[in-house]
Amino acid sequence: MTDPILKVRGLTKSFGGLVATRDVDLDLRAGEIHALIGPNGAGKSTLVQLISGALRPDAGSVQFGGQDVSALTTAARARKGMARTFQISSLAMEYSVLQNVVLGALGRRGDVFRFFNRVMKDQQLLKVAEKALVQVGLQDVRAFRTSDLSHGQRRQLEVAVALTLDPKAFLMDEPMAGLGAEGSQQLQGFLDQLRHQAPILLIEHDMDAVFALADRISVLVYGEIIATGTVDEIRGNPAVRQAYLGEVAE
Amino acid sequence: MTRESCLNVVLMGLLLAVPLAAWALDEPFIITLTTRAVIFAIAGVGLNLALGFGGLVSFGHAAFFGLGGYAMGILAYHAQTYTPLMDWPFVIEGTKSMLVIWPVAIVASGLAALAIGALSLRTSGVYFIMITLAFGQMFFYFTISWSAYGGEDGLSIYVRNSFPGLNTMDPIQFFAICYGLLLLVLWGVHRMANASFGLALRAARQNEERLQAVGQVPYRLYLTAFAISGAITGLAGALFADLNRFVSPSMLSWQTSGEIMVFVILGGVGRVYGPVAGAALFILLEHTLGGLSPYWHVYLGAILLGVVLFARGGIFGLLAGREVAHD
């Protein structure tokens, strides 16, 4: 087995008296979708923020691509290929669809301090951007203003921007949130393919999607991972059933 | 050609036609008035880089405007009194040459903006407004108490500074210099807005989280924009002092900061040519309404209120519609 792309060890974070993340170990291996589930308030978003660098942990480490990135900022982790999509679409709303993906490609290439080039005519950036748009199926709306997109299209655009970062791993915070049944299905099919490009750490509420997609599942309850395993192992785990699935009509 | 670029051409054409007509009709006052508008436009275009493109509401740009003014005033003062600026450890003489004064004004105000920005950009929102205001006031009170250069009374320059091949005391020739510089600044800011830097900076204004997620740090972009913004406003300050042949602490007052901000908001925040329209309208109102009543600012306030409430994109938003993302 090759080393995991993302390796989280002993991650702990508390806010005052509340321990939001408690001694979390987590691996993301090449080619897999690793789903992170848990009831509301389990600390999923906190964990994502710790991994992406938006929050500083009290203890523990995050290793990415064989390197300790615990001390790096969000931006530095992104440059190393950690591509995050947000629970609530986080895009440059006044920009066109194309500008958003070109921004991704530019951020990845890193030369933002150029003052007299024509960035929207940069063939290298456009090529990367166009490829990402085609991959998510947004090529026909490239000239649309992002604020004019539907909710589902914004979610797709988030993924497209993540694709421009030449990602080594995806961190997806509830990509299905707010999508209709059809949209969910589409995105599900897409993520199914995407895992071969780079592994996905998937935070998701939609249990059908999780069970259909995930290679492995980790269950987070009160900031602690109570079980990690394959879909079947998690389905059969009594502690998980009691803590979590029992609340859902199974 | 988009509606916005049509508007740009019309605007710049008018700004050229008015003083030319005034020149033909021998109305030097109108030429000077337009020159004032052009200089204010340069200051506004400078502020717009921070305010419009970076979303940095700076209430301290008068400091850079005034710094540019004092750079000109001090150099010219030493030249006209034949005293060196300093004679130890090496001698620096004053100068009356615009080609020396401009770079000094640009560098001085750019460096000041870099320092002020480096500290102020650690805050955001209302705190950023207040801290830039505080820095502006610091510079203001410093110039008031700077008795070596006139203190509260300011500095008078007998003759306008020189530009090779031109008679700068001739209103239309001085106008030409200012108009040329405005064109140059507009061209530079336009290129910047459409370059990598502009794309990233405007993205930072819209969504810092997004910019970080693609691996870039907003702070550096903001600081660069703020420094360039201050430098451009400083150049405008040097020209303004030259126009009046006078520099005084009033150039650094917070009212000046407010006025520069009014140019930007009236014209259209984040539009390259917006502040040109704003400054021109401001001068027009000042001239027409100012003749009616010394309290003409009341009307300006009402108009500003109207713009903010009903035409949020300013003149450009009203006439050119929503910004076109790209072609």
Tokens at residue A136, please?
Answer: 């998510």
Rounded to whole angstroms, the Cα distance separating A47 from A218 reads 12
Q: Output phi, psi for A206, to 5 deg.
A: -70, 100
Domain ranges of chain B: 3-320
State whether A104 and B214 contact (CB < 8 Å): yes
Segment B132-139 mean pLDDT: 97
Say what the pLDDT of residue B324 is: 59
Strands A169-173 and A33-37: unpaired
Q: Is A231 on the interface with B (CB under 8 A)?
A: no
User: Per-residue pLDDT averaged across B272-287, rounded?
Assistant: 95
Of all residues in chain B, the one with the smallest CA distance to A117 is B195
Quote the CA–CA distance of A213 and A202 in Å, as a whole number. 10
Shortest CA gap A71–chain B (Å): 15
Q: Is A234's pLDDT higher than 70?
A: yes
pLDDT band of residue A245 (cuts 50, 70, 90) is low
Whether residues B210 and A79 touch (CB distance < 8 A) is answered with no
The pLDDT, as a whole number, for residue A250 is 42
Residue B223 pLDDT exceeds 60: yes
pLDDT at site A244:
67
Hey, are the CB atoms on B197 and A112 less than 8 Å from each other?
Answer: yes
| Dist. CA B20–CA A200, nearest whole Å | 66
Mean pLDDT of A91-109: 96
For A101, the 3-state DSSP assignment is helix
The one-character DSSP state at A2 is: P
d(CA B278, CA B52): 13
Q: How confident is the model at residue A128 (pLDDT cuts 50, 70, 90)?
A: very high
- ipTM score assigned to the predicted complex: 0.91
Q: Do B224 and A113 touch (CB under 8 A)?
A: yes
Q: Which two tokens stand for residue A86?
A: 């947000």
CA angle centred on B130, ends B127 and B132, rounded to 5°: 105
- B325 band by pLDDT with thresholds 50, 70 and 90: low
Helix axes B28-48, B171-193, angle to 10 degrees: 20
Interface test with A, best of B184, B191, B201, B214 (most A CBs within 10 A): B214
A–B: how many Cβ contacts below 8 A? 113
**Average pLDDT of every residue of chain A:** 91
Q: Which of B195, B214, B326 sits opposite A165 (nearest CB)?
A: B214
Phi, psi of A81 (to 5 degrees): 105, 20
Per residue in B191-222, is it b (16+ CB within 10 Å) or e — as a string?
bbbbbbbbbbbbbbbbbbebbbbbbbbbeebb
CATH entry 3.40.50 includes domain B3-320: no
Chain A contact set for B210 (CB, 8 A): 90-92, 103, 161
Other residues' Cβ atoms within 10 Å of the Cβ of residue A59: 13
**What's the mean pLDDT in B106-127?**
97
pLDDT at A249 over 80: no
Residue B301 burial by Cβ neighbours in a 10 Å radius (0-12, 13-18, 19+): exposed
pLDDT at B326: 53
In three-state secondary structure terms, A200 is strand
Interface test with A, best of B199, B208, B224, B228 (most A CBs within 10 A): B199
Cβ–Cβ gap A90/B199 under 8 Å: no
Average pLDDT over every residue of B51-56: 96
Cα A61 from Cα A55, distance rounded (Å): 12
**Across A29-162, where does the E strand assignment appear?**
33-37, 59-64, 67-68, 82-85
Q: Which residue of B has its CA nearest to A77?
A: B215
State how far residue A113 is from chain B, nearest Cα, in angstroms: 5
Q: Which of A64, A100, A103, A122 to mutate to test the interface with B (most CBs of B within 10 A)?
A: A103
With H, G, I as helix, E, B as strand and everything else as coil, classify residue A236.
helix
pLDDT value, residue A93:
95
pLDDT higher at A140 or A237: A140
Taking the Cβ of residue B202 and every Cβ of chain A, the question of whether any pair is shorter than 8 Å is answered with yes
User: Rounded to 5 degrees, what angle do the CA atoms B293, B294, B299 make?
Assistant: 65
Residues of A in contact with B195 (CB under 8 A): 114-119
Give residue-wise pLDDT tens across range B172-202. Answer: 999 999 999 999 999 999 999 999 999 999 9
Q: Which of A236, A242, A237 is nearest to A227 (CA)?
A: A237
Confidence label for A247 from pLDDT (cuts 50, 70 and 90): low
Q: How confident is the model at residue B320 (pLDDT cuts 50, 70, 90)?
A: confident
CA dist B29 and B13 (Å) reads 19
Q: Which two tokens stand for residue B191?
A: 């290129």
Query: Distance (Å, rounded) from C-alpha A108 to C-alpha A111?
Result: 9
- Which residue in this structure is represented by tokens 């480490």? A61
pLDDT digits (tens, 9 = 90+) for B151-164: 999 999 999 999 99
Q: Which residues on chain B are in Cβ contact (under 8 Å) with A108?
A: 214-215
Does the pLDDT at position B222 exceed 90?
yes
Going along chain A from its start, the domains and CATH numbers come out as: 1-81+169-186+197-250 (3.40.50.300), 90-166 (no CATH)
Q: What percentage of chain B has pLDDT greater than the value 70?
A: 98
Average pLDDT over residues B40-51: 98
> Does residue B195 sit at the A interface (CB-CB below 8 Å)?
yes
**Average pLDDT of the residues of chain B:** 94
Q: Report pLDDT digits (tens) over A141-196.
A: 999 999 999 998 999 999 999 999 999 999 999 988 888 888 888 889 999 999 99
- Strands laid side by side in the A33-37 sheet: A82-85, A169-173, A200-203, A33-37, A216-221, A224-229
Check residue B128 and give its pLDDT. 97
**Residue the block writes with tokens 């880089």:** B49
Q: Which of B197, B199, B214 is closest, CB to CB, to A99?
A: B199
The CA dihedral of A49, A54, A57, A60, to the nearest 10 degrees, is: 70
Determine the Cα angle at B71 with ends B68 and B77, to 5°. Answer: 135
Entry pTM: 0.93
